[in-house]
């Protein structure tokens, strides 16, 4: 990894103004800042309802009784902490600009979540041996969180389906899962997303795209070696081939996007050369996992 920190101090300060959003609440055991929308023992007033015997008298609204002579109880919205699972693709196909871009965005998202006292579960695809998931909570863990992101090397081949299964085996909670990957999955393009969605998680797919992947020099005769598998392919870069390659590349992204939309998975493209703040602004605009702090 580059010696330069993933996020500068200025960037960290700016991130404090953002929060993680999610499309729908998911039940957690840990009350926190996240409004779940469910009525329960939270602190945010929701509405009133008629008193029924057995209701906790602490929740009787005496002011209303004083004015109306009618017993009603106050209802409160349950607030709980967000459990954010960041799945960062560290396969060799991501090596380079894609890996850095993905990790910078993951760092930003994780930092935002930690700043809101949310749980951040950091997982790599492929998973790191022995510790498939690192759990972080609170700003105090931000340093370790960022260090883990920076220090974990790119390695291994993409097998998202298998890796996601391992990650999910470490928790039964649902939450927000953000997958940052180029989705160069030879077996099943959507294996990771499908696994997370099946668990009932709110899933965001951040498709890391690098045009360098399809930027071959016309006229070249190449022996293309797969970074992950070592497979070799003889390639003669002709105009038609180049056009076909680019079309295929776009088609795969479009295909993935269509698949996500059909399954209520938020999909966002992350062009590696796009500045981080532009990406966050785009996510802010589309409501894909990022929102302004209240």
The residue ranges that bind other proteins (CB under 8 A) are: 92-95, 98, 182, 184, 186, 213-214, 218-229, 231-245, 247-249, 252
Nearest to 179 by CA among 196, 197, 204, 202: 204
Q: State the nearest-atom distance from the C-beta of 75 to other proteins, in Å.
A: 53
Nearest to 92 by CA among 3, 182, 192: 182
Q: State the nearest-atom distance from the C-beta of 169 to other proteins, in Å.
A: 27
Q: State the nearest-atom distance from the C-beta of 236 to other proteins, in Å.
A: 4
Q: State the nearest-atom distance from the C-beta of 96 to other proteins, in Å.
A: 9
Nearest to other proteins of 47, 212 (CB atom): 212
Give the integer Cα–Cα distance in Å for 110 and 103. Answer: 10
Q: State the nearest-atom distance from the C-beta of 232 to other proteins, in Å.
A: 8
Nearest to 82 by CA among 58, 117, 106: 117
Nearest to other proteins of 157, 284 (CB atom): 157
Nearest to other proteins of 112, 180 (CB atom): 180
- Strand 119-125: give its sheet, edge to edge: 133-137, 119-125, 83-89, 176-181, 202-209, 266-271
Q: State the nearest-atom distance from the C-beta of 118 to other proteins, in Å.
A: 32
Nearest to other proteins of 34, 183 (CB atom): 183
Nearest to other proteins of 76, 249 (CB atom): 249
Nearest to other proteins of 87, 99 (CB atom): 99
| CA R_g for the chain | 23
Give the integer Cα–Cα distance in Å for 131 and 167. Answer: 9
What length does the chain have?
294
Q: Alpha-carbon torsion 174, 185, 225, 251, what sign? A: negative
Q: State the nearest-atom distance from the C-beta of 246 to other proteins, in Å.
A: 8
Per DSSP, the three-state class of 55 is coil
Nearest to other proteins of 240, 294 (CB atom): 240
Under 8 Å between Cβ of 134 and 122: yes
Give the integer Cα–Cα distance in Å for 230 and 241. Answer: 22
């Amino acid at each position: 990894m580059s010696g330069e920190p993933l996020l500068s101090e200025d960037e960290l300060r700016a991130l404090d103004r953002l929060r993680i959003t999610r499309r729908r609440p998911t039940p957690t055991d840990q009350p926190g800042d996240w409004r779940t929308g469910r009525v329960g023992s939270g602190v945010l007033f929701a509405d009133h309802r008629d008193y029924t015997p057995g209701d906790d008298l602490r929740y009787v609204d005496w002011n209303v009784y004083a004015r109306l002579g009618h017993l009603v109880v106050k209802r409160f919205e349950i607030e709980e902490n967000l459990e954010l699972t960041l799945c960062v693709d560290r396969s060799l196909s991501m090596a380079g600009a894609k890996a850095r871009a993905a990790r910078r965005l993951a760092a930003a998202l994780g930092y935002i979540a930690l700043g809101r006292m949310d749980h951040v579960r950091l997982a790599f695809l492929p998973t790191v041996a022995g510790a498939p998931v690192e759990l972080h909570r609170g700003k105090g863990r931000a340093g370790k969180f960022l260090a883990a992101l920076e220090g974990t090397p790119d390695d291994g081949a993409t097998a998202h389906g298998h890796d996601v299964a391992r990650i999910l085996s470490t928790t039964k909670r649902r939450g927000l899962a953000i997958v940052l990957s180029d989705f160069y999955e030879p077996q099943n393009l959507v294996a990771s997303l499908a696994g997370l969605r099946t668990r009932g998680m709110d899933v965001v797919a951040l498709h890391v795209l690098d045009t360098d992947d399809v930027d071959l020099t016309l006229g070249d005769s190449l022996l293309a070696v797969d970074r992950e598998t070592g497979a070799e392919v003889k390639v003669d870069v002709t105009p038609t081939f180049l056009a076909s390659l680019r079309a295929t590349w776009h088609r795969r992204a479009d295909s993935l996007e269509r698949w996500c939309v059909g399954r209520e998975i938020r999909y966002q493209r992350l062009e590696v050369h796009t500045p981080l703040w532009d990406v966050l602004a785009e996510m802010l605009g589309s409501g894909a996992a990022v929102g302004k702090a209240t």
